[in-house]
């Protein structure tokens, strides 16, 4: 395995952070899907499962680039804090918004500065998908709150 070039160290560290975030999102969304299924909210469960799969793909893409740049993609998976499905949707939306507003823009700026094209591609793909996830989580929250309000 090649050593990480000095000019790529920050990019690799950013990719490692993104890899860990995406890997943990996969685990968390899988647990959230099980809770939504248990609550009888199968649409929300399907959304969580689809997003979990996408997060797994993002992590795999990041891991490939980390390896290309001489790093080793390893991370710790943290236990998911599973609450009500509505709270889980809100937590998922918050996580996606962080990636959209803060994490990926900063990571992309750094990778662009150093012309690390493989990292730029991997992170841009993830960022664009996160925008869709955020929109879908927002829509699911609106539907769930609306259904709850109609029941009252």
pTM: 0.93
Q: Which class for 123: exposed (0-12), middle (13-18), buried (19 or more C-beta within 10 A)?
A: buried
The tens digit of pLDDT for each residue in 14-67 reads 999 999 999 999 999 999 999 999 999 999 999 999 999 999 999 999 999 999
The H-or-E segment that residue 23 falls in is helix 9-38
Under a CB-based contact definition with an 8 Å cutoff, are residues 51 and 140 in contact? no
DSSP label at residue 79: P
Determine the Cα angle at 127 with ends 86 and 26, to 5°: 50
**Interatomic CA distance for residues 106 and 31, integer angstroms:** 29
Count the residues in the chain. 152
Six token digits for residue 21: 């975030």
Residue 99's pLDDT is 98
Under a CB-based contact definition with an 8 Å cutoff, are residues 84 and 128 in contact? no
DSSP label at residue 7: G
Percent of the chain, pLDDT > 70?
A: 96
Q: How many CB atoms are located within 10 Å of the residue 86 CB?
A: 17
Percent of the chain, pLDDT > 90?
A: 91
């Amino acid at each position: 395995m090649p050593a990480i070039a000095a000019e790529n160290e920050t990019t690799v560290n950013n990719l490692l952070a993104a890899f860990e975030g995406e890997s943990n999102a996969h685990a968390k969304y899988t647990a959230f899907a099980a809770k939504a299924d248990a609550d009888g909210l199968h649409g929300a469960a399907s959304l969580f499962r689809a997003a979990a799969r996408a997060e797994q793909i993002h992590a795999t893409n990041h891991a490939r680039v980390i390896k290309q740049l001489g790093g080793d993609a390893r991370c710790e998976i943290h236990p998911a804090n599973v609450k009500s499905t509505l709270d889980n949707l809100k937590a998922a939306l918050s996580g996606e918004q962080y990636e959209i507003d803060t994490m990926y823009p900063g990571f992309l700026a750094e990778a662009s500065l150093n012309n690390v094209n493989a990292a730029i591609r991997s992170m841009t793909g993830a960022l664009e998908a996160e925008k869709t996830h955020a929109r879908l989580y927002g829509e699911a929250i609106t539907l769930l709150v609306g259904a709850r309000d109609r029941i009252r």
